[in-house]
Structure 1
Amino acid sequence: MGYSDDKRLLVELASMYYNEGAKQEEIAKKFSISRSLVSKYLAKARSLGLVEIIIHDDLIHPFQRLEQKVQKKYQLKEVICVHSIGEESLNKRLGIATARYLSRIIKADTTIAISAGTTLHEAAVIFSVKNHLPNVRFIPMVGGLGREHVSLQSNVICELLANKCGGIALELHAPITVDSAEAKEVFLSQSFIKNVLEEAKHADISLVGIGGTPVYSTMTKAYLAKEDGMKVDFTNGEIIGDICYNFIDEEGSVVDCEWNKRVLSLEIADLKKIPLKIAAAGGKDKIKGIKAALTNRLIDVLIIDEDTAKFLLNEYI
């Protein structure tokens, strides 16, 4: 029987290496074998389950198991969780996580379609890359001209991101909404709007926020309050959130309502075709909207907070 078949010997060898801190040369000398055989036997001990290496990363990565469970349940490419403590600073923490993720995956010649909102603005402010990326393009997916919430508008966020990496930012010269469905058709037929949205359709990556129950949505609430004759029924429970300023139902489908007939943004069907779709959102008011977007496969990478993750898993107490 060779050394590699002697489990007691493998345990003794492994104990010297892992528990006592002996060097492989010392072990080789004691057992009169070569250093390469020591390495081989240590690997054998691990393969037989005699040695189990556990990395205690809870302090530096406390949400790994939670992320994996959400990722598996909703068949996502990646999930990133942040702490839920301190609701007033949640958007900033989500923005930091989003900026870091974008910095990690961004490559030369990438085209990124951008929505609007507080979290994405936070991400743009924090975003940074090591290398100059002059061919990276940032394309707005939603309208947003006007004085309302200027810093949260898609054009502004695209410009901030482009400035941080030396890339290119296109501008969508369009408001969020227009006066009628007929006016929307006219606007969308204009080349300076049509061409930008066409480029957004063919982006490599999309980055969006997700709105919660419309009464909590800062942008839609502000614009709806100013729109004469805009009739949107929020009381029947059909509308549970918005993505790219399109109100969606619990299946993640576009709701047949006046707002959606007037809003100027990339269509949900076109968003769905973008190869890598990143969404950053959190908080109890947005859980239904996030779940709806997941149901309709509008998200590939989800950046959320711990409590939202637990709600999505039905584990929140």
Structure 2
Amino acid sequence: MNYEDSLIVKTAWYYYIENMTQQKISEMLGISRMKVIKFLEKARQDGVIQFKISQERSHHLQLEQKIIQKWNLKDAFVVPTPPDDSCPNDTIAKAAAMYINDRITEDTYINIGYGDTLSRVLNHLATMTESPVSAVSLTGGVSYYLPNTFSSTFNAKLYLYPAPLIVSTKELCSAMQKEPSMQSISRMVNLASMTIVSVGGLNEDATVIKNGIFTKNDFLYLSMQGAVGDILSQFIDKDGNPIQTDIEERLLSTPLSTLRTLPNVTGVASGKHKVKAIRACLKGEYLDILITDEETALSLIEEDLD
């Protein structure tokens, strides 16, 4: 066994058996983190590490196929539902980052929407990818696209709407949309090969309520109008039809009509409180791919009783 083969075996052992982080392995073996990632991939390709699909994972594969068939999707990725004391947004965000990382190249541009889950997706993706991720924002609200405080590395190039998510009047919104800096980002949206969005429910801990963008009274009003949730902060009814309110007139976000024309629109969402909203997005045919957890997936293949 030559020196490199020895390092590959050690890297695989420390990572898969000892559960050490890539950074820790890098420091222990005196090699770069990128080298660790390459060695882990080589270990998989050369059969140093062999994977067996467990019965549980087989169940998830069957569930994915049912989701794909029921909702006419290109793909689906179902992960185990996290325990109650964990962070469901982070679990689904990690899964989405891994899924996206396997499908992008150095020259890939991805569109990414607004929200806590998608902020986590972007941060996880930017720490695991070898080449910089080129990410284009689909909405205003700059802070949710920036690196979080927990990221040691953030390997991403960001192209952001230089604006808040929502403004005070429709006249201001219209004027801002005509700005050259805004229009240049809008043009880039159409060049991306993959679009990542989340789905929001009408629950009180929704990101847009936490941030003070919408109030509980706004949600009550939207609910009375028939809204079940939102995508790109645009609210839809149970059949996926947009809810027409004055809120949309003040919103700096990619229109849902444009979203339908984009390739490989990937929805990242889970949770009982989002099932109605996810189902509405699927009915409205906004999504090509769905990344969710097992409990949510099971709910989505049940008959719609609404």
TM bin, normalised by shorter chain, reads: 0.7 to 0.9
Alignment of 1:26-41 (within 5 A): none
Q: Does 1:144 align with 2:133?
A: no
2: CA distance, partners of 1:131 / 1:210:
28
2: CA distance, partners of 1:313 / 1:143:
33
1: CA distance, partners of 2:220 / 2:119:
27
Structure 1 residue 216 displacement after superposition: 4.1
The 4+ residue runs of structure 1 with deviation greater than 6 A are none
2: CA distance, partners of 1:113 / 1:219:
20
2: CA distance, partners of 1:209 / 1:157:
18
1: CA distance, partners of 2:114 / 2:207:
11
State the TM-score, normalized to the length of structure 1. Answer: 0.71
Q: Which residue in the other structure is 1:205 paired with?
A: 194
Distance 1:242 1:66, change over 3 A: same
Q: Does 1:68 align with 2:65?
A: yes
Structure 1 residue 224 displacement after superposition: 2.1
Structure 1 residue 205 displacement after superposition: 0.9
Of residues 151, 158, 161, the one that matches 1:172 is 161
Q: Which residue in the other structure is 2:179 paired with?
A: 190
SS at match of 1:123: helix
2: CA distance, partners of 1:252 / 1:231:
17
**8 Å CA contact 1:231, 1:259 repeated in 2:** no
SS at match of 1:206: strand
Give the letter for the 1:310 counterpart: L
Structure 1 residue 126 displacement after superposition: 2.3
Q: Does 1:253 align with 2:241?
A: yes
Give the letter for the 2:121 counterpart: A
Q: Which residue in the other structure is 1:109 paired with?
A: 107
Structure 1 residue 253 displacement after superposition: 2.4
Give the letter for the 2:174 counterpart: E
1: CA distance, partners of 2:168 / 2:140:
14
Q: Which residue in the other structure is 1:302 paired with?
A: 290
Structure 1 residue 280 displacement after superposition: 0.5
2: CA distance, partners of 1:210 / 1:312:
14
CA deviation map 1:110-154 (0-9, x unaligned):
111111222222222322456334xx5210111114xxxx4xx1x
1: CA distance, partners of 2:90 / 2:262:
26
Structure 1 residue 225 displacement after superposition: 3.3
SS at match of 2:222: coil
Structure 1 residue 202 displacement after superposition: 3.1
1: CA distance, partners of 2:191 / 2:303:
37
**8 Å CA contact 1:80, 1:304 repeated in 2:** yes
Q: Which residue in the other structure is 1:86 paired with?
A: 83
CA deviation map 1:239-266 (0-9, x unaligned):
1111111111122222101211111011
**8 Å CA contact 1:214, 1:234 repeated in 2:** no
Q: Which residue in the other structure is 2:39 paired with?
A: none
Structure 1 residue 73 displacement after superposition: 0.6
CA deviation map 1:60-113 (0-9, x unaligned):
454111111011111111111122242442111101110110110012321111
Q: Could you tell me which runs of 5 or more consecutive residues in structure 2 were left unpaired when the two chains were aligned.
A: 1-51
SS at match of 2:140: coil
Which one has the largest radius of gyration? 1
Q: Which residue in the other structure is 1:126 paired with?
A: 124
SS at match of 1:250: coil
Structural RMSD (CA): 2.8
Q: Percent identity?
A: 25
Q: Which residue in the other structure is 1:77 paired with?
A: 74
- Tell me the matched-pair count: 248
**8 Å CA contact 2:93, 2:117 repeated in 1:** yes
Q: Which residue in the other structure is 1:20 paired with?
A: none
**8 Å CA contact 2:202, 2:219 repeated in 1:** no
Distance 1:253 1:216, change over 3 A: farther
State the TM-score, normalized to the length of structure 2. Answer: 0.73
SS at match of 1:224: coil
